[in-house]
A and B are shown apart, each in its own frame.
Chain A
Amino acid sequence: MILDINYQLSKPSTCSPVSIELKNVTKKFGETTAVNNVTFSVKEGELMALLGPSGGGKTTVLRMIAGLEMPTAGDVFIRGQRVNDLSVQQRNIGFVFQNYALFKNMTVFKNVAFGLKIKKWKRADVKTRVAELLNLFGLEGLERRYPHQLSGGQRQRVAIARALASKPGVLLLDEPFGAVDAKIRQELREWLVTLHNELNVTTIFVTHDQEEALEVSNRIVIFSRGMLEQVGSPREVYEQPANEFVARFIGVMNVLEPEVRDGVARIGELEFPPHGQAEGQKLRIGFRPYAVQISSDVAQHRYRAVLRRTFFLGVLLRVELELPSGLVLRARMTKEEYAQQGMEDGKAVSFQIRQYRVLAGDNAGLAPEGELSDQAAPTVSGKLGVA
């Protein structure tokens, strides 16, 4: 789709490249703390994802930026201006609700024109602007339809057009892809990226789908239980997760708890250096599926396993390895590797773990990735945690 709209942001009050800033923001609903001392900022023109499991506080953060909820403590800034005391009407934001909240009794045209009429735009200007938006969003010819006469994807586009109509400084979307089916979801994601690139309006969206966040956003803010876990680019949060929660939430991770015996941390057949843990203590080890190197030559790597199951996910395949001790690990292979090595379910393989991390606690920082060579030592039993 060609986006040729003339979208002009209303002039920022300062020249600061920061569009939105939250400083030590806390929100309590009665006794429950929904958002706990959160601080982060969003740059002008950025496409930011607020990611986390449901109940993580991300929607509350979005609603506080919009002015639909007021923070219990802390400050919210939009373009350098403290907006704590400004109502939603005064904040110049566009908000897209999870179920779109289109006005059921109004046509597509009236829905999109609503904000403009409220702001007393001239009738001719309203017409031009709405036509421009409907054209941009591929909704021409649907002006007289009512929301219930539209498909899920069309409804979402009407909702975004309505939110953008009066040229807000910030576009906020609450679970924008939650209400449509998987096939349209993918199209809409790509569409949102294209739209954002063309309009360059600061956009924040809430999602619980890590894949969606990784694919769509410039930067991701990760929440869990009301706390901010990490802010970073998709690559940063994937490759350098700040803690175990992030590591497990973004992508798949094998997590093991080997116990130190005779100076070696052991679980099943696997062995790791003790990393300073005393005899008899446990330590937590995490590694990504891609860190597991597999060979069909059972003599090539140190550990033996049976390829238990293969999941075809496209170019990359996910495989489950079962060790003689019963441990199960997740690994990844490309289609080519899989074919070249003549893999199939039930085949005996050998493998090694190329990289791993020592995990501390849920919220403590992660140690840098360590290397594990084929030369490490013998065995013990234990249990496996797979993220």
Chain B
Amino acid sequence: MKKSQRGTEESRVMKWALIVCALAFCFIFLLLPLVNVFVQALAKGWSFYLQSLLHPDSWAAIRLTLLVAGISVPLNVLFGLAAAWAIAKFEFRGKSVLITLIDLPFSVSPVVAGLMFVVLFGLQGFFGKWLDAHEVKIIFAVPGIVLATVFITFPFVARELIPVMQATGTEQEQAALSLGANGWQTFWHVTLPSVKWGLIYGIILCNARAMGEFGAVSVVSGHITGQTDTMPLRVEKLYNEYNAPAAFAMASLLAFLALLTLGIKTLLEWKQARAEKLIVTSQKVDGHAG
């Protein structure tokens, strides 16, 4: 390590003390529990691990989680694109209200979010009688879980896209229009590629949350084993049934999906940084051109 030349910098001892503190904290509170999940999950060997994941009820939970994520992520991608587009490209009354509303799911406790849907669609709820009369089941069924998940993951895509779209402005789109492109072609060829990274990042975060959501889903699902249990709910149930190894197996799968998501995110960031670095280098090389 180079000796600091700046008078304002902390001493070497202080610097290392801080670094060690931070690393130790990360290790004890983040890494150790995570590693423990995998250790516990594999405590009874691979065959038990696979068996517990392939147990019909667990397998149903995995499928349900994928289904819910598969519906709510695309829905929120559509919504996020539309909202970000509206906010970044147009001026309209109530714009600030819309921005605040998008953030609502971040500030409301997931349990409260779940309860809101029960109050709306539950049997005793606002639309309950009508829904019951038409034999539509939302609460304690898959539609309720999807609704709750959509609500919770509402802000992710929009939040990622708004600043990117605002920074891009509308000139490129106007250029596309002046070259004869229609609205859809402009969106597809110009707008979408320019927000690509923000969108991918938003989808990843949205997906991670959709698969991992517990609170809101727990309230609306009714915990019907094999039917309305998602992976997080299944983990809790197994754990409460003193089936810790199976609970850990399921938990490890969830954790693995989360790690995978993080990994993809880091890879994307790295790729983007590298692309930018390449640009800088090539600009240096071409500095005298033109």
**Contact surface of A with B, Cβ cutoff 8 Å:** 66, 68, 87-89, 93-95, 97, 99, 101-106, 114-115, 118-119, 146, 148-154, 162-163, 165-166, 184
Partner of A89, one of B180, B189, B286: B180
Selected contact of A88 from candidates B178, B185, B286, CB within 8 Å: B178
Does B181 lie within 8 Å of A118, measured CB to CB? yes
Q: Is B283 within 8 A of A115, CB to CB? A: no
Q: Are A148 and B283 in contact (CB under 8 A)?
A: yes
CB of B175 within 8 Å of the partner chain: yes
| Interchain CB contact under 8 A, B177 and A151 | no
A93, A103, A150, A154 pick with most chain B CB within 10 angstroms:
A103
In the A-B complex, the 6 residue pairs with the closest CB atoms: A151-B290, A115-B179, A101-B171, A105-B193, A101-B175, A95-B178
Docked pose: A162 CA to B193 CA in angstroms: 19
Contact A154 B290 (CB under 8 A): yes
Q: Within the complex, which residue of B175, B185, B282 is in contact with A95, where a contact is CB–CB below 8 Å?
A: B175
Provide the bound-state CA to CA distance between A124 and B124, in Å: 67
Tell whether, in the assembled complex, residue B289 and residue A151 are in contact, meaning their CB atoms are under 8 Å apart: yes
Q: A151-B289, A163-B178 are in contact. List 17 more A-B contacts (CB 8 A).
A: A88-B178, A89-B177, A89-B178, A89-B182, A95-B174, A95-B178, A97-B171, A101-B172, A103-B190, A104-B172, A105-B196, A115-B181, A149-B282, A150-B289, A153-B290, A154-B289, A165-B179
Whether A119 touches B172, Cβ cut-off 8 Å, given contacts A103-B190, A151-B289, A154-B290, is no
Cα separation A199 to B239 with both chains bound (whole Å): 78
Q: Are A66 and B178 in contact (CB under 8 A)?
A: yes
Q: Are B178 and A93 in contact (CB under 8 A)?
A: yes
* Cβ–Cβ < 8 Å partners of B174 in chain A: 68, 88, 95, 97, 101
Asked if residues A118 and B290 are in contact (CB atoms below 8 Å), the reply is no
Number of CB contacts from chain A to chain B under 8 A: 78
Q: Is the CB of B180 within 8 A of A119?
A: yes
Question: Is B176 at the interface (CB under 8 A from chain A)?
Answer: yes
Q: Contact at B178–A146, with CB atoms within 8 Å?
A: no
Given the complex of chains A and B, what is the CA–CA distance between A165 and B180 in angstroms?
12
Indicate whether B259 reaches chain A with its CB closer than 8 angstroms.
Answer: no
Please tell me which one of the listed residues A103, A146, A150, A166 contacts residue B175 in the complex, with CB atoms under 8 A apart. Answer: A103
**Chain B residue at minimum C-beta to C-beta distance from A68:** B174
- Nearest residue (CB) in B for A67 is B178
Residues from 193 to 251 in B contacting A, C-beta threshold 8 Å = 193-194, 196
Known contacts being A118-B180, A118-B185, is A148 close to B175, with CB within 8 Å? no
In this assembly, does B50 line the interface, its C-beta being within 8 Å of a C-beta of chain A? Answer: no
Q: Please provide the chain B residues from 86 to 128 with a CB less than 8 Å away from any CB of chain A in the complex.
A: none
Q: Which residues of A contact B190 (CB under 8 A)?
A: 103, 105
B267 interface hit (Cβ, 8 Å): no
Cα A97 to Cα B289 with chains together (Å): 23
A290 vs B164: C-alpha distance in the bound complex, in angstroms?
54
Q: Choose one: B172, B185, B189, B290; the contact of A150 (CB below 8 Å).
A: B290
Most chain A beta carbons < 10 A, residue from B193, B286, B290: B290
From known contacts A148-B279, A151-B289, infer whether A103 and B177 are also in contact, taking CB-CB under 8 Å. no
A residues within 8 A CB of B172? 101-104
Name which residue of chain B comes closest to A165, CB basis. Answer: B179
Give the interface centre of B172, B185, B283 by most chain A CB atoms within 10 Å.
B172
Task: Sample 26 A-B pairs with CB under 8 A, ordered by A number.
Answer: A66-B178, A88-B174, A89-B177, A89-B180, A89-B181, A101-B174, A102-B175, A103-B172, A104-B172, A105-B193, A105-B196, A114-B176, A114-B181, A119-B180, A148-B283, A149-B279, A149-B283, A150-B289, A150-B290, A151-B286, A151-B289, A152-B290, A154-B289, A162-B179, A163-B178, A166-B179
**How far, in angstroms, from A153 to B286 measured CA to CA in the complex?**
13
Contact with A along B153-180 (1 / 0, CB 8 A): 0000000000000000001101111111
Contacts of A166 in B (CB 8 A): 179-180
Decide: B179 and A104 in contact? CB cutoff 8 A: no
Q: Whole-angstrom distance from the CB of B198 to the nearest CB of chain A? A: 13
Best-buried of B175, B283, B286 by chain A (most CB within 10 Å): B175
Within the complex, the shortest CB–CB distance from A185 to chain B, in Å, comes to 13
- Complex contacts, B182 vs chain A, CB 8 Å: 89
Question: A93 to B171, alpha carbons, bound, how many Å?
Answer: 16
How would residues 33 to 47 of chain B score, 1 for a CB under 8 Å from any chain A CB and 0 otherwise?
A: 000000000000000
| Chain A residue contacts of B178, Cβ below 8 A | 66, 68, 88-89, 93-95, 163
